[in-house]
């Protein structure tokens, strides 16, 4: 069995956190890491005890949801709340951070931002990261790593499709199923 890399491990953690998001507009997760240890995590959601977008709808101001605290900020604030230094840490985020989060990450002393998906990447964000010596890297999550039986499932589906073909199912029909299987096994949400 292949051992997963640190990058994939922490990025998977951020994707897991994103599933806890309460804003329907975008589900984001963030994990702050220091010395290969997770020191905090966050997802975008309402203030503690507040109403959730998924229950009451987003609170839109200028087409932005004002209700939510962003995942990156929540992760930093978790450190603030419990007195954990963020100086020199790295952050793994599911999406490229917005300008406000970029500024906060820089001020919190985060030295590297690792993001999975492009998201309105603002040139000013890259400019600020460069000015403050923050390293930026894109690392996409290999979704298959979260599914430990993925190879077996893939082989099973392929065998099943071959059997269908051998047993005289119309080839256009089999091709359609093969397409579907390919999408299921390779698609990223």
Active site annotation includes 72: yes
- 8 Å CB contact between 184 and 144: no
Give the one residue of 11, 17, 27, 53 binding Zn ion; rule: CB under 5 A.
53
- Select the residue interacting with Zn ion from 31, 70, 75, 129 (CB under 5 A): 70
| Residues 12-51 within binding reach of Zn ion (CB under 5 A) | 23
Determine, following the binding rule CB under 5 A, whether residue 65 of this chain makes contact with Zn ion: yes
What is the maximum span of the chain, computed from C-alpha positions, in angstroms? 67
- Among residues 22 and 150, whose Cβ is nearest to Zn ion? 22
Among 73, 90, 87, CA closest to 36: 90
b/e per residue, 60-97, with b = 16+ CB within 10 A?
A: eeeeebebbbbbbbbbbebbeeeeeebeebbbbbbbbb
Residue 79 binds Zn ion, judged by CB under 5 A = no
Residue of 101, 106, 108, 116 interacting with Zn ion (CB under 5 A)? 101
Question: What are the residues facing 137 on neighbouring strands?
Answer: 114
Size of the site for Zn ion (CB under 5 A): 8
Q: Which residues are near Zn ion by CB under 5 A?
A: 23, 53, 58, 65, 67, 70, 98, 101
Catalytic residue numbers, as ranges: 72
């Amino acid at each position: 069995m292949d051992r997963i890399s640190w990058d994939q491990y922490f990025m998977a953690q951020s994707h897991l956190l994103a599933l806890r998001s309460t804003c329907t507009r975008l589900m984001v997760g963030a994990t702050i890491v220091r010395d290969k240890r997770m020191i905090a995590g966050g997802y975008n959601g309402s203030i503690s005890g507040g109403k959730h977008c998924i229950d009451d709808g987003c609170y839109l101001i200028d087409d932005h949801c004002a209700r939510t605290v962003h995942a990156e900020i929540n992760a930093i604030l978790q450190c603030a709340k419990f007195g954990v230094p963020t100086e020199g840490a790295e952050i793994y985020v599911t999406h490229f951070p917005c300008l406000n989060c970029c500024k906060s990450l820089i001020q919190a002393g985060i030295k590297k931002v690792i993001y999975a998906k492009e998201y309105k990447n603002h040139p000013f964000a890259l400019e600020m990261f460069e000015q403050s010596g923050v390293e930026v890297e894109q690392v996409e999550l290999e979704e298959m790593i979260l599914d430990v039986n993925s190879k077996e499932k893939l082989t099973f589906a392929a065998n099943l499709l071959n059997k269908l073909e051998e047993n005289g199912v119309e080839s256009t029909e089999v091709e359609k199923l093969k397409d579907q299987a390919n999408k299921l096994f390779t698609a990223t949400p």
